[in-house]
Amino acid sequence: MAELAFENNKAHMQKLHNKVRLFGSLSILCIIITVLTFFIPFAFSDNLVALMPLQMIVFIEMLGFAGFALIGYKFNREFKALYKETIVKDALNEEFDNVTYIPGKGFSSQQVSSFGLSRMGNRFHSEDYIAATYKGIAFNTSDVTIRYHSGGKNSHTTTYFEGRMFEFQYGRPISGCVQILPDKFAYKPALPGSSGKLQMESVSFNKDYDVKATNPEEAFYVLTPAIMENLQRLNSHYRGFLVSIVGSMIYVGVPSHGNNAFDISSSTKKLDYASERRKVHEDARAIIDIIEYLSIPTIEETGGVNLEMYRTSEEVLSRPVLGRSFI
C-alpha cells in the first residue's frame, strides 16, 4: 500500500512539474507578444489615433501574463511540497534514523544568533528543518538565510550567510565559546570577552581560519592537529566552512553558493527522478562529512542530549533556546 502511494505521488509530481514548465513558458510568451504588440506598430506608423485600440490589446495580454504567472506559481508550490514529501523525505529516511522533517519550519533567529556563526542582519529566513540520528549521533539542521537591507534612496541588500546550519552535542563541555571561522569570511559576529585572533600551531591553518575564544586554553584543547587538518579539508570542499563551539554544543555553517540543499536542481528542465534522488543523497553527505571529519560523539558517549534532538512536533520549535546570544 505504501509503495502504491509512493508511485502515485511520483506520477502526480511529474504532472505538476509539467504544468509548472508549461505555464512558465506561456508567461514568457505573453511578455514577448506584449512587447511586439506595443513597439512594432509605433515603429512603422505615425498615426497615433489609429493605434489607440492597441492599448486594450496590450492590457489584455498583460492580464494573460499575470494569470499564467499566478497559475504557474500555484502549481509550483504544490510541486515543491510533493517533491519534498516524495523525494527528499524518502532519501533522508534511507540515510538517517529517527528523522523528523518539517519543510516549512526552521531555526529561529534567536537560535541562529546563539550559534555564534554569523553576524545577524535585519532580514532572516529559515526552512527545511531536519532532526535525525546517524550511527547514534543526533543532529538538527536547517536552511538559513541572513541578509542586511539598508533603506533610503540608494537601498542595498547584503547577504551575510546563505546555506545550512547544524547543531550537534559536543564531547566535553567547554568553558565559554570557541569560534573557528574562515579568515576571508567578512561577516564574523562579535565575541564578547575574547582576546582577538589566536595563533595556532599550524601556519597554513592560521592563514585559512580566524580562531577566537573567551578562554584561549579551550581553543588549543579543541583544535588538535588532526581536527585542524580535517577542518581545512572541509573548508576546501565546502568553501567557507564555519564552526562554533558553545558550552556543550557544536554549531556548523555550510554556505550553499547558490546550490540550495534539498531543493529541486532546476524548475525549467525535464524532471529526472533518479537524478533528483542522487542530489538529495549528495546534500545529505554534508551531514555525514561533518560527523566523520569532526569526530562528533554518539549520544552514549556524551551521556545524553542537552538539546531536544528528537523533536517530533512543530510545537518544540517555538520553545526557548539554550546558549548565549552573539549579535
Does the pTM of the predicted model rise above 0.85?
no
How many C-beta atoms lie closer than 10 Å to residue 204's C-beta? 11
End-to-end CA separation in angstroms for the chain:
50
Point out the least confidently predicted range of 19-28, 207-216, 223-232.
19-28
Task: For the chain, give the percent of residues with pLDDT over 70.
Answer: 71
In the chain, domain spans: 2-92, 97-318
- Scan for cell 485600440, then name that residue: 53
Residue 214 pLDDT > 90 = yes
How many C-beta atoms lie closer than 10 Å to residue 26's C-beta? 17
Top pLDDT among 11 and 206 is at 206
Residue 69 and residue 207: Cα distance in Å, rounded? 49
Write out pLDDT tens, residues 39-67: 655 555 555 445 456 666 666 667 766 76
Write out pLDDT tens, residues 117-147: 999 999 999 999 999 999 988 899 999 999 9
Write out pLDDT tens, residues 218-266: 999 999 999 999 999 999 999 999 999 998 899 999 999 888 878 776 6
- With residue 62 as reference, give the H or E element that holds it: helix 53-83
Name every residue whose Cβ is closer than 8 Å to that of residue 139 and which is 6 or more positions away in sequence. Answer: 131, 132, 133, 166, 167, 168, 287, 291, 296, 309
